[in-house]
Every structure is written in structure tokens, then in C-alpha cells.
Structure 1
Amino acid sequence: MDQLKQVVGLVRSVLAPELLGTYLHGSAVLGGLNPASDLDVLAVTRKSLDGRKRRALLEGLLKISGLTATVRPVELTVVVQSEVRPWRFPPVGDFLFGEWLREELRAGGLPQPGPMPDLALVLTMALAGDHPLTGPPPARLLDPVPHADLVRASIAGIPELLDNLADDTRNVLLTLARVWATLATGRIEPKDAAADWAVSRLPPEHRPVLEHARYLYRNCLYAEETWSHELTAQVRPHVDEVLIHINELR
């Protein structure tokens, strides 16, 4: 995977000698990449990045990441080991890049350290995937995340998801299904597997929306995504139904 090699090469060149390890997580280790899946990479460092390294990492990622049939979106998370080991909640992330942040970052912002509840999920996937790209196995650098903190992290992200429902419908629906499945089972599943789990537990009238989101995830790039008026009208009732189940478990 040439693009992944580019990401790892960039991280090594910018973060060395403070880099402790880089790890694949997300779809690539949970069940396989789909057409629009991100390349999800976690980097663990000894200390926080300075401004020069933040700029170099950002400029490199803007060139490597994309949303085309041949260039995947890259999500890179950098954590300082001492901020996540010993584990505490909420964890602090040092740098985050994703395609949804592209315009904001190109406008002049550099990713800065700050609380990042979603790291609970990222670290759990990195540990479960056990896929070092550089460095030792992740369990040598990271502590396991308690289930209670997986629940807290999953719930913490819901308001932002709902804010993006109209613009990122597919991803929001699948992520909410995964939140529901994680709270119920304690496992973090691939988004389409979480949708399988959720569809079987939804009333029939709330299934078509999630089934369509799952189809898009498995088969289509974001630019190819389409929603009929009929399905669009069913999105919010579906979300309200899923939120009822999530609230029952929280």
C-alpha cells in the first residue's frame, strides 16, 4: 500500500527521534478497507510536537491524503505516551489530521494539543489490531482502556455527530450504529458490521436508512453518494430511534 508507506515515511522523517511507534487501526484492522475507508494511523511520541514539526506534518498530509478512487483520506492521530499511560479520561491528543479538517487547517490553523475523548476508541482499536508499522507491539506503549471510558467516549461524540447529520449522513448513521453496538456488546466493530447488528434490532420501518448507509459504505466513494427524497425523510426518525436505544444503555 504505497499511500500507507508515504504516511509512515512522513511520520518517521518529521517525528524522529522522538517517535516511539506507529500503528494501524480503524477499518484496516477491524475488517478490511472499503472504497471510502480512511487510512487510520496512530503515532506515539516521547514529547509534544513543536510548531515546526506540526507545520511539516500538516503540509505533508495535505499532499498525501485525498478523496478520490486512487487516494484515500488519511486520519493521523499523534499522542504523547505520558498523556495516555497511565490511562486517564479524558485523554489528551497532541495532533489530529483528517479530511474533514482540511479546509480549516488550510486556512491557517495547526493541530494543537487538547482533550480528545475519541482517543479511547482509537487506542482500543490499535491495541486490538496489534498492527505495528514501526516500533514495538502497541501493548508495550499503551494501557488498555476500561469499558466505562469507551462508553463515555462514545457518548461524548454524539452532539458533534448530530451537528453533521445533514452533511455527512452516511458516516453519522453508521457511527451511531457503532455507538449503540459498542455500548451493548463492549466491542468496537467495523461500521458495516455494527450496521448489521443494529439493523437486526430495529423495527422494520427504521431499517432502510441504515441499510442504505451500509450499502454506500461498502460500495461507493463519498462523491458517488445519493439519497432519495423518501430515504432522506426517514433519516431523522431513524436517528431518534437509535438514540432511544443508546440512552437506555448509557
Structure 2
Amino acid sequence: MSNMTNEQIPKEAWNALRIAKNVLGSKLIGVYLYGSSVNGGLRINSDVDVLAVVNQRLSKTTRKKLTERLMTISGKIGNEEGMRYLEFIVINEKDNVPRQYPPRNELVYGEWLRSEFEKGQIPKPTFDPDLAIVLAQAREYSISLFGPELSTILDPIPITDIQKAIKETLPELIDGMEGDERNVLLTLARMWHTMSESIISPKDVAAQWAIPRLPKQQAKVLDIARKAYLGEYNDNWDGIEAEVMPLVNHIREKIESLFNS
């Protein structure tokens, strides 16, 4: 749990809360700020992560209205106005208490999906292994913007669910690396750290942990991703696949060896 003053809470989170109350009304149980905002502090390119818990499933109309409103308050990728990207997840309490695996979301809003939203595609509810990691993070480090503390609503997420989620999402993460190299490398470092130490830490902290455990050249590549994440370095990943892939394969092998132990 984190103690933050209202001034320290990003404006995108307050805007998301206002929209959630407006669109969801009596369906809303709670709205929570989690992620780097409350665990380690926002980095230069950090998303603002918000989780909403509702007491029933959402109709397509409600999901459409929510998505359209969120698009107006979340920064587009590369925007010049200093608006942060919003990641907004809605879960239905009835789908997640008692705990199930994989957990089910009602809606995920993220800037990587904006082009789909602009074409009028509305996010559908899905069973999502990755949500187990999100809920574990949010349950441990979040602040309530509205409603009771999250830990009083959600059951604890066992480490076995998190390990299962890492195993299931690892191939897809690596497949989606092109154009998202920094994020993928840091997420791999975090997965390795989580599998080894049973904790979920901020990406730069996980990278710091991983760097001394890597061969020298690979450590350099991961350190570029870490520094860029902190805003200390301008990274350009074009044409350096030959340096990136040995690092990806090395960390993947480390993670996979931990699945079996």
C-alpha cells in the first residue's frame, strides 16, 4: 500500500475515475491506481495504470461508451502535450471472487489498441493469463481512488498462478518484439526476476537485478533498455537484432529452466 497525496496522483487517473463514475454509475465497486505510479514512481514513458472493479458484466454499449471517453483523456503514443498513456482495465468482481485462473477482464483499454478503437472495434471480455500478474501487483501496491481497499475485495493471487501466467505469455511476448524492443527486454528481465525471487518489481529494478547475472555484451544491451526507460538515454533498436536476440534467448532459457525446477 502506498501513501500519496492527491497532488501526486496523475491527472489521467483522476480523469479516468470521473469517466468511470459517469459511465458505470452504480455498477462501480472501486477504482485503483497501481503500477509504477505507486511502486517505484512514474518513469518518463510510464503508463498510468488504473483498475476498475464492477459488480456485473458490461454491455457492448457500455464498453463502447467507456472506450470512446477514455480515448479523449489518454495520450496518443508520441503526443507532444505531455499526456501520459492510460492503461485502464475493468474486471467483474463476480468473475474473480472466488479466484479463478486465468482471470477474466470485462475491458482493457491501452494505447497500443488505439488504431482498433478508431476503427470502431470495441474490446471484448477475455480470459487473460497476464491479468493474474496485474491483479497480484495491484493487490499489493495500489491506492484506492474510490471504494474499499483492493486487498479487501480480491483474494490473494498465489505465486503458482503468476508462474503459470509467465509460462503462457512468454512466447507471445517474444513474438511481438519488433518495434517494442525496450519494453519486451525489460518485461523479460522482470519475468526472470519474478520466477527467481517470487516478487514483482518495477521494470528498471528487475533489469538492475538481471544485469550482473548476464554475460558482459548482453548486460550492456539490457542496460541500454533500462537507461532509456528512465529517460537517461535515447534508444534506437533498428538493425541491432544480432545483439538483441542473444539476450532474449539467454533470458528465455533462464526463465524456462525455472519452470522445470
Runs of 4+ residues over 6 Å off in structure 1: none
Q: Quote the residue 2:4 is aligned against.
A: none
Whether the 8 Å contact between 1:36 and 1:220 is mirrored in structure 2 is no
Q: TM-score, normalised by structure 2?
A: 0.91
Residue equivalent to 1:28:
37
Gaps of 5+ in 1: none
Deviation at 1:228, TM superposition (A): 6.6
2:230 to 218, 234, 241: 218
SS in 2 for 1:199: helix
Asked if the contact 1:12–1:19 (Cα under 8 Å) also holds between the matched residues in 2, the reply is yes
1:18 aligns with 2:30: no
Deviations 1:22-59 (A, max 9, x none): 11111112211001100001100000111221111111
Q: Secondary structure at the match of 1:219?
A: coil
Q: Give the Cα separation in 1 of the matches to 2:215 and 2:18.
A: 48
| Range with bigger deviation, 60-69 or 125-134 | 60-69
Percent of aligned pairs with the same residue? 39
Q: Are positions 1:51 and 2:63 aligned together?
A: no
- Find the counterpart in structure 2 of residue 110 from structure 1: 122
Contact 1:58-1:110 within 8 A present in 2 as well: yes
Q: Which residue of 2 aligns with 1:205?
A: 217
What's the C-alpha RMSD, in Å, of the aligned pairs?
1.5
Q: Which residue of 2 aligns with 1:237?
A: 246
2:140–2:151: 8 Å Cα contact kept in structure 1?
no
Partners of 1:203 and 1:225 lie apart in 2 by: 21
Name the residue aligned to 1:123: 135
TM-score relative to the length of structure 1: 0.94
Whether the aligned pair in 2 keeps the contact of 1:35 and 1:220 (CA below 8 Å) is no
Show the counterpart of 1:147.
159
Letter of the 1:55 counterpart = K
Q: Secondary structure at the match of 1:143?
A: coil
2:184 alignment partner in structure 1: 172
CA distance in 2, matches of 1:225, 1:12: 39
Give the secondary structure class of the aligned counterpart of 1:89.
coil
The offset of 1:220, in angstroms, is: 6.6
In structure 2, the residue matched to 1:100 is 112
* CA spacing shift, 1:36–1:80, aligned 2, 3 Å: same
One-letter amino acid of the counterpart of residue 172, structure 2: E
Equivalent residues, number: 247
Give the distance between the partners of 1:35 and 1:52, measured in 2 at CA. 34
**Is the contact between residue 90 and residue 108 of structure 2 (CA under 8 Å) also seen in structure 1?**
yes
Alpha carbons 1:79, 1:95 under 8 Å: kept: yes
Q: Which amino acid aligns with 2:65?
A: A
